[in-house]
Amino acid sequence: MERPLILVTNDDGFDAPGIRFLADTVAKHGDVIVVAPGEAMSGMGHAITIKTPLRFHQIHPNGNYEIYRTNGTPVDSVKLAMHKILPRKPDILVSGVNHGSNASVNIIYSGTMAAVFEGAMAGIPSVGFSITDYDHAADLKITKPFIHEIVNFVLNQGLPNGISLNVNFPATDKGDYKGMKICRQALAYWKEEFEERYDPHNQPYFWMRGSFVNHDEELDTDEWALKNGYVSVVPVQFDFTAFRFM
Protein backbone atom coordinates (compact mmCIF):
# COMPACT_ATOMS: atom_id res chain seq x y z
CA MET A 1 0.00 0.00 0.00
CA GLU A 2 1.09 3.57 -0.67
CA ARG A 3 2.29 5.33 2.45
CA PRO A 4 0.35 8.46 3.48
CA LEU A 5 1.74 11.71 2.12
CA ILE A 6 2.20 14.32 4.84
CA LEU A 7 2.65 18.04 4.13
CA VAL A 8 4.46 19.88 6.94
CA THR A 9 4.53 23.67 7.12
CA ASN A 10 4.66 26.52 9.67
CA ASP A 11 5.03 30.27 10.10
CA ASP A 12 8.35 30.28 11.97
CA GLY A 13 10.38 29.42 8.88
CA PHE A 14 11.63 26.19 7.28
CA ASP A 15 14.64 25.92 9.59
CA ALA A 16 12.85 26.57 12.90
CA PRO A 17 13.39 23.86 15.54
CA GLY A 18 9.63 23.31 15.85
CA ILE A 19 9.08 22.37 12.22
CA ARG A 20 12.09 20.04 12.14
CA PHE A 21 10.81 18.36 15.29
CA LEU A 22 7.32 17.99 13.82
CA ALA A 23 8.61 16.61 10.53
CA ASP A 24 10.83 14.09 12.32
CA THR A 25 7.92 13.05 14.55
CA VAL A 26 5.29 12.53 11.85
CA ALA A 27 7.73 10.75 9.50
CA LYS A 28 6.73 7.58 11.39
CA HIS A 29 3.27 7.88 9.83
CA GLY A 30 4.11 8.49 6.18
CA ASP A 31 6.22 10.23 3.55
CA VAL A 32 6.97 13.79 4.62
CA ILE A 33 7.51 16.85 2.45
CA VAL A 34 8.25 20.17 4.18
CA VAL A 35 7.22 23.39 2.42
CA ALA A 36 7.54 26.53 4.53
CA PRO A 37 8.53 30.20 4.41
CA GLY A 38 12.19 31.09 4.18
CA GLU A 39 11.88 33.40 7.17
CA ALA A 40 9.65 33.92 10.19
CA MET A 41 6.11 34.96 9.27
CA SER A 42 4.43 35.06 12.67
CA GLY A 43 1.26 37.12 12.85
CA MET A 44 0.71 37.08 9.08
CA GLY A 45 -2.73 35.53 9.39
CA HIS A 46 -4.16 34.44 6.03
CA ALA A 47 -2.04 36.85 4.00
CA ILE A 48 -1.12 35.95 0.42
CA THR A 49 1.47 37.46 -1.91
CA ILE A 50 0.05 39.21 -4.97
CA LYS A 51 2.51 42.03 -5.76
CA THR A 52 5.80 40.13 -6.07
CA PRO A 53 6.76 36.85 -7.80
CA LEU A 54 6.64 33.68 -5.74
CA ARG A 55 9.59 31.30 -5.72
CA PHE A 56 10.61 28.10 -4.01
CA HIS A 57 13.92 26.31 -3.65
CA GLN A 58 14.68 22.79 -2.51
CA ILE A 59 16.99 22.55 0.47
CA HIS A 60 19.46 19.68 0.50
CA PRO A 61 17.40 16.79 1.92
CA ASN A 62 18.29 15.52 5.37
CA GLY A 63 17.82 11.90 4.34
CA ASN A 64 14.32 11.47 5.75
CA TYR A 65 12.27 13.96 3.74
CA GLU A 66 12.38 16.77 1.19
CA ILE A 67 12.48 20.39 2.34
CA TYR A 68 11.43 23.40 0.28
CA ARG A 69 11.71 27.03 1.29
CA THR A 70 9.51 29.72 -0.24
CA ASN A 71 9.65 33.49 -0.29
CA GLY A 72 5.95 33.67 0.51
CA THR A 73 3.65 33.48 3.50
CA PRO A 74 2.48 30.26 5.17
CA VAL A 75 -0.63 30.28 2.97
CA ASP A 76 1.50 30.87 -0.14
CA SER A 77 3.63 27.90 0.91
CA VAL A 78 0.60 25.62 1.11
CA LYS A 79 -0.65 26.81 -2.28
CA LEU A 80 2.74 26.26 -3.90
CA ALA A 81 3.00 22.85 -2.29
CA MET A 82 -0.38 21.71 -3.58
CA HIS A 83 -0.02 23.09 -7.11
CA LYS A 84 3.70 22.89 -7.89
CA ILE A 85 5.64 20.69 -5.48
CA LEU A 86 3.69 17.70 -4.17
CA PRO A 87 3.23 14.67 -6.44
CA ARG A 88 -0.39 14.31 -5.30
CA LYS A 89 -2.89 15.61 -2.78
CA PRO A 90 -1.54 15.03 0.74
CA ASP A 91 -3.40 12.78 3.16
CA ILE A 92 -2.82 15.23 5.99
CA LEU A 93 -1.37 18.69 6.56
CA VAL A 94 0.33 19.50 9.86
CA SER A 95 1.53 22.98 10.78
CA GLY A 96 3.96 23.89 13.56
CA VAL A 97 5.17 23.22 16.10
CA ASN A 98 4.66 26.95 16.60
CA HIS A 99 6.53 28.68 19.42
CA GLY A 100 3.84 30.72 21.14
CA SER A 101 0.20 30.12 21.92
CA ASN A 102 -2.42 29.98 19.19
CA ALA A 103 -5.23 29.41 21.67
CA SER A 104 -8.25 31.68 22.00
CA VAL A 105 -8.23 34.82 19.83
CA ASN A 106 -4.61 34.22 18.80
CA ILE A 107 -5.92 31.91 16.09
CA ILE A 108 -7.11 34.95 14.12
CA TYR A 109 -3.59 36.38 13.80
CA SER A 110 -1.79 33.07 13.40
CA GLY A 111 0.10 32.18 10.24
CA THR A 112 0.42 28.65 11.60
CA MET A 113 -3.35 28.22 11.71
CA ALA A 114 -3.88 30.11 8.44
CA ALA A 115 -1.91 27.33 6.74
CA VAL A 116 -4.23 24.83 8.45
CA PHE A 117 -7.33 26.62 7.17
CA GLU A 118 -5.86 26.74 3.67
CA GLY A 119 -5.40 22.98 3.79
CA ALA A 120 -8.94 22.47 5.06
CA MET A 121 -10.33 24.62 2.26
CA ALA A 122 -8.61 22.28 -0.20
CA GLY A 123 -10.22 19.26 1.44
CA ILE A 124 -7.09 18.13 3.30
CA PRO A 125 -7.46 16.99 6.93
CA SER A 126 -5.33 19.59 8.69
CA VAL A 127 -3.95 20.10 12.19
CA GLY A 128 -2.03 22.96 13.79
CA PHE A 129 0.34 22.39 16.71
CA SER A 130 1.57 25.19 18.99
CA ILE A 131 3.26 25.43 22.37
CA THR A 132 2.94 28.23 24.91
CA ASP A 133 6.71 28.66 25.03
CA TYR A 134 8.54 31.26 22.93
CA ASP A 135 11.96 29.74 23.63
CA HIS A 136 13.12 28.02 20.44
CA ALA A 137 15.40 25.88 22.60
CA ALA A 138 12.44 24.41 24.50
CA ASP A 139 12.51 20.62 24.72
CA LEU A 140 9.50 19.45 22.70
CA LYS A 141 9.85 15.73 23.42
CA ILE A 142 6.95 15.83 25.88
CA THR A 143 4.61 16.69 22.99
CA LYS A 144 5.58 13.69 20.85
CA PRO A 145 3.09 11.06 22.12
CA PHE A 146 0.21 13.52 21.72
CA ILE A 147 1.27 14.39 18.17
CA HIS A 148 1.45 10.68 17.33
CA GLU A 149 -2.00 10.05 18.78
CA ILE A 150 -3.64 12.96 16.95
CA VAL A 151 -1.97 12.31 13.59
CA ASN A 152 -2.79 8.62 13.80
CA PHE A 153 -6.41 9.43 14.61
CA VAL A 154 -6.77 11.88 11.71
CA LEU A 155 -5.11 9.55 9.20
CA ASN A 156 -7.39 6.69 10.20
CA GLN A 157 -10.65 8.51 10.98
CA GLY A 158 -10.35 11.67 8.91
CA LEU A 159 -12.04 14.97 9.78
CA PRO A 160 -15.41 16.35 8.68
CA ASN A 161 -15.30 18.62 5.63
CA GLY A 162 -14.27 22.13 6.63
CA ILE A 163 -13.18 21.13 10.13
CA SER A 164 -9.58 21.18 11.34
CA LEU A 165 -7.88 20.97 14.73
CA ASN A 166 -6.11 23.67 16.72
CA VAL A 167 -3.83 21.88 19.20
CA ASN A 168 -1.95 23.81 21.89
CA PHE A 169 0.56 22.45 24.41
CA PRO A 170 1.37 24.00 27.80
CA ALA A 171 4.94 25.19 28.32
CA THR A 172 7.36 22.35 28.92
CA ASP A 173 8.67 23.79 32.21
CA LYS A 174 5.45 22.85 34.03
CA GLY A 175 6.15 19.12 34.13
CA ASP A 176 4.25 16.26 32.53
CA TYR A 177 0.95 17.00 30.86
CA LYS A 178 -2.18 15.72 32.57
CA GLY A 179 -3.77 14.62 29.29
CA MET A 180 -5.80 16.11 26.46
CA LYS A 181 -9.05 18.05 26.61
CA ILE A 182 -11.44 18.77 23.76
CA CYS A 183 -12.21 22.45 24.31
CA ARG A 184 -13.90 25.50 22.94
CA GLN A 185 -12.05 28.68 22.12
CA ALA A 186 -11.91 31.05 25.09
CA LEU A 187 -13.53 34.47 24.64
CA ALA A 188 -10.48 36.63 25.27
CA TYR A 189 -8.74 39.54 23.55
CA TRP A 190 -5.54 41.56 23.34
CA LYS A 191 -5.45 45.02 24.91
CA GLU A 192 -2.97 46.98 22.80
CA GLU A 193 -0.71 49.79 23.83
CA PHE A 194 1.41 51.88 21.46
CA GLU A 195 4.73 53.17 22.73
CA GLU A 196 5.58 56.40 20.95
CA ARG A 197 9.20 57.16 20.10
CA TYR A 198 10.97 59.68 17.86
CA ASP A 199 13.52 59.11 15.11
CA PRO A 200 16.61 61.33 14.55
CA HIS A 201 14.44 63.63 12.40
CA ASN A 202 12.04 64.08 15.32
CA GLN A 203 9.31 62.15 13.50
CA PRO A 204 7.14 59.86 15.68
CA TYR A 205 7.01 56.12 15.29
CA PHE A 206 5.31 53.44 17.37
CA TRP A 207 5.98 50.02 18.89
CA MET A 208 2.85 48.00 19.49
CA ARG A 209 2.70 46.20 22.80
CA GLY A 210 -0.18 44.47 24.48
CA SER A 211 -1.48 42.32 27.30
CA PHE A 212 -3.71 39.29 26.95
CA VAL A 213 -7.04 39.69 28.73
CA ASN A 214 -9.18 36.65 29.51
CA HIS A 215 -12.36 36.98 31.52
CA ASP A 216 -13.65 33.61 30.28
CA GLU A 217 -12.81 31.34 33.22
CA GLU A 218 -15.12 28.45 32.29
CA LEU A 219 -13.67 24.95 32.59
CA ASP A 220 -14.36 24.00 28.96
CA THR A 221 -12.01 26.52 27.31
CA ASP A 222 -8.59 26.09 25.77
CA GLU A 223 -7.12 28.73 28.07
CA TRP A 224 -8.31 26.85 31.18
CA ALA A 225 -6.89 23.58 29.86
CA LEU A 226 -3.48 25.09 29.15
CA LYS A 227 -3.36 26.90 32.48
CA ASN A 228 -4.11 23.64 34.27
CA GLY A 229 -1.59 21.44 32.50
CA TYR A 230 -3.72 19.88 29.73
CA VAL A 231 -3.17 19.80 25.99
CA SER A 232 -6.07 21.70 24.40
CA VAL A 233 -7.70 20.46 21.20
CA VAL A 234 -10.23 22.81 19.60
CA PRO A 235 -12.14 21.78 16.45
CA VAL A 236 -12.25 24.90 14.26
CA GLN A 237 -13.72 25.88 10.89
CA PHE A 238 -13.10 28.45 8.19
CA ASP A 239 -16.83 29.07 7.67
CA PHE A 240 -17.45 32.31 9.59
CA THR A 241 -21.21 32.25 9.19
CA ALA A 242 -22.97 33.22 12.43
CA PHE A 243 -25.58 30.45 12.27
CA ARG A 244 -27.16 31.30 15.65
CA PHE A 245 -27.81 34.86 14.52
CA MET A 246 -29.34 33.63 11.26
User: How confident is the model over 59-116, as pLDDT tens digits?
Assistant: 976 678 999 999 999 999 999 999 999 999 999 999 999 999 999 999 999 999 999 9
- Provide the pLDDT for residue 60: 77
How do beta strands 66-70 and 56-59 pair? antiparallel
Task: Give all strands (DSSP E) within the chain, no chain letters.
Answer: 5-9, 31-37, 56-59, 66-70, 92-99, 126-131, 163-169, 180-182, 188-198, 204-214, 231-237
Please say if the pLDDT value at position 20 is more than 70.
yes
Q: Please state the pTM of the whole predicted model.
A: 0.93
CA angle 99, 125, 168 (to 5 degrees): 25
Q: Which residues of 163-197 are buried (b: 16+ CB within 10 A; e: fewer)?
A: ebbbbbbbbbeeeebeebbebebbebebeeeeeee
Query: How deeply is 119 buried, as exposed, middle or buried, from its count of CB atoms within 10 A (0-12, 13-18, 19+)?
Result: buried
| Arithmetic mean of pLDDT, 129-151 | 93
Query: Nearest-CA neighbor of 100 among 149, 38, 170, 40?
Result: 170
> How would you list the strands of the sheet with 231-237, edge to edge?
56-59, 66-70, 31-37, 5-9, 92-99, 126-131, 163-169, 231-237, 180-182
Report pLDDT for 209: 87
Query: Does the pLDDT of residue 26 top 90, yes or no?
Result: yes
Give the mean model confidence (pLDDT) for residues 143-162.
97
**Cα atoms found within 13 Å of the Cα of residue 36, Cβ hemisphere only:** 35
Rounded mean pLDDT of 54-61?
A: 90
Predicted confidence band of residue 44 (pLDDT cuts 50, 70, 90): confident
Strands (E), 10-107: 31-37, 56-59, 66-70, 92-99
Cis peptide before 97 (omega within 30 of 0): yes
- The larger pLDDT score, comparing residue 64 to residue 242, is at 242
3-class SS at 105? Answer: coil
What is the average pLDDT score of the chain? 94
pLDDT at 169 over 70: yes
